[in-house]
Amino acid sequence: MATAAASSSSSLRKRTGRSSAAVSFQLPEKEKPDTVVPLGSSGQISFGGAFVALMIARYFSATSNLIHDCDEVFNYWEPLHYLLYKSGFQTWEYSSQYALRSYLYLLLHALLVGPAAWWYGSGAGKVGVFYSLRFALGALSALTEAALVESISRRFGRRVAAYTLVLLCFTSGCFNASTSFLPSTFSMYGITLASALLLADELVAAVAVAAFGVLVGWPFSVLATAPLVVYALFFGKFWKVFLAGAITSICTILMSLLVDHYFYGQWKFSILNLVIYNVAGGGDSSLYGVEGFFFYLKNALLNFNFAIVFALMLPVMMLLSRRSSDKQLFCAISPIYLWLLFMSLQPHKEERFIYPVYPLICLASAAAIERIPDLVSKVSRAYDPESLLLKLSKLVRPLAMALILVLSYSRTTSLLQGYSAPMHVYRQLSSLENTSSTGSTVCIGSEWHRFPSSFFLPSSSYKVSWVDDGFRGLLPFPFNSTAGGTRVAPAYFNNQNQASSGQFLTEEENCSLLVELALKRSGQAFRGENATTWEAVAERSFLDNQKSPPLYRAFFIPWLWENKNTFGVYRLSRKR
């Protein structure tokens, strides 16, 4: 009926020459469609309101989020610490021999957090710099997502925007990704803002933002921007869109080349080096583990639960309930399916690789939930708005949202309660009195991958050393600031993940502090359990995922979570 009304109004306008406002007529209240809010109408979700809600959620993420991947620490937090304080760990990817990582990404964040580093100084307050950058990342995430919500509200209506906003605020995936210091997160910011500009018909700006976000962040995510770029070229002003993308790309690449020339001491094209290593046979990323085809789907079910199910259903729902705005909607959400399929075909998989499309999953899920009554009408032919079946279908929407939110809260709570011990234990270092004139050596064995970065070390008199617990991969080494720092190519690095003979501390009696995870497994001995040598100064429980049932460790269920799961002790010990 809404289509007939629009057609009648258009026909009458052609005959009379009057504006649509003068000739349009109102549908009866009960027959008004509740889906699309026209551009410029009232009742939309504003940018400011969305930003406030998102900023509250991102504040909690900044203060309590885990570090979900050791790459975040050793490839980003540690080199950033070196840029700010001239100390930190270096990985082979930052060796001038390989130069897989661009310092442009780090430099932008160093400039962002530079005032905080000056304010907090180089002592125990360094951890404040860590959380300051997290807060800035959360604010950037909130800004891009608020722009997306406002564009959704104008393009698809208030209900879709409200659902999207709620999912952005509360789903575990967005909680985890929004404040992670990772290039894939930076690409997520760029793709989110570019999608917002696309829906606002700002196609030139959308392509420019997408290009900058991809090249500064993660070059492989260019595939996730392909639908947006193609749409902008075909439906926008071709040459303006083309030049915007080309100029932005060239300028960003030139900045990367200049910054890397300064830090590597020679001309290095890190973006190309990374692509060659991963794609063109220059290296073997499967050295760091391979996963099955359904890895990302399982991961998405944990981080988005039923929201990912609705997101995957949306293309079918769009075919059954076609709308005039579906062209823009399909362009905005198509990166989800393209990116999931492409990444699922790669042997090496990690959760962070899917971060770039996380906000788009929320949009797709929200649009699918909003269309539930349309789907019911098509399948059952219950077009009467007063039919009981249609009324019941509208109740499914809040119930679906409630279920998603409860499961999201349960998942996030389980992660924070089960695995936040390292962040809390390392913060206790600042409360210890350093009585040694030569400094304190913090020894870490099998828990090297959960070291939260040198920002948690109280001063330069503390240093971290790895002790041999059986790991045979290549571990990071400290930057050698006296021998060229970022410009040297240390001989002990290789791109085959082969351990170096010098990566472990051979004289463990030099350890003054020890970090260990003591699990309740038979036959395992721990250094810190020797009470004659070590005394515990900080302890916190840590969930043993290998000994805990999958359902109870994945989601927090009161009482059952504590009683069904098995826990170890994350311990900071001091030599007596």
User: Quick one: pLDDT band at residue 536, thresholds 50, 70, 90?
Assistant: very high
Question: pLDDT, tens digit, for every residue of 111-166?
Answer: 999 999 999 988 888 999 999 999 999 999 999 999 999 999 999 999 999 999 99
Average pLDDT, the chain: 89
Question: pLDDT, tens digit, for every residue of 495-514?
Answer: 889 999 899 998 888 999 99
Look at residue 8 and tell me whether its pLDDT is greater than 60: no
pTM score, whole prediction: 0.90
Which of 465, 421, 423 lies closest to 440, judged by CA? Answer: 465
Look at residue 449 and tell me whether its pLDDT is greater than 50: yes
Look at residue 253 and tell me whether its pLDDT is greater than 50: yes
Q: What is the largest CA-CA distance in the chain?
A: 97
Task: Report the Cα–Cα distance between both ends of the chain, in Å, rounded.
Answer: 82
- Note the pLDDT of residue 323: 87
- Note the pLDDT of residue 166: 98
- Note the pLDDT of residue 9: 43
Which of 302, 142, 151, 274 lies closest to 218, judged by CA? Answer: 274
Instruction: For residue 317, give every residue at least 6 positions away whose Cβ sits within 8 Å of its Cβ, in sequence order, or none.
Output: 368, 371, 374, 375
Q: Where are the domains of the chain?
A: 47-419, 421-466+512-575
Q: Helix, strand or coil for residue 262?
A: helix
Q: Helix, strand or coil for residue 97?
A: coil
Angle at CA 562, nearest 5°, toward 558 and 568? 150
Number of Cβ atoms within 10 Å of the Cβ of 84 = 22
Residues 140 and 213: beta-carbon distance below 8 Å: no
Angle at CA 154, nearest 5°, toward 148 and 155? 85
Look at residue 480 and tell me whether its pLDDT is greater than 80: yes
- Note the pLDDT of residue 124: 83
- Mean pLDDT within 540-550: 95
More confident residue, 378 or 245: 245
Look at residue 2 and tell me whether its pLDDT is greater than 70: no
Helix, strand, coil content of the chain in percent (nearest 5): 60, 5, 30
Percent of the chain with pLDDT over 90: 74
- Note the pLDDT of residue 486: 92
Number of Cβ atoms within 10 Å of the Cβ of 272 = 15
CA distance linking residue 510 with residue 385, whole number of Å: 77
User: Quick one: pLDDT band at residue 456, thresholds 50, 70, 90?
Assistant: very high
- Note the pLDDT of residue 385: 65
Angle at CA 313, nearest 5°, toward 381 and 164? 105
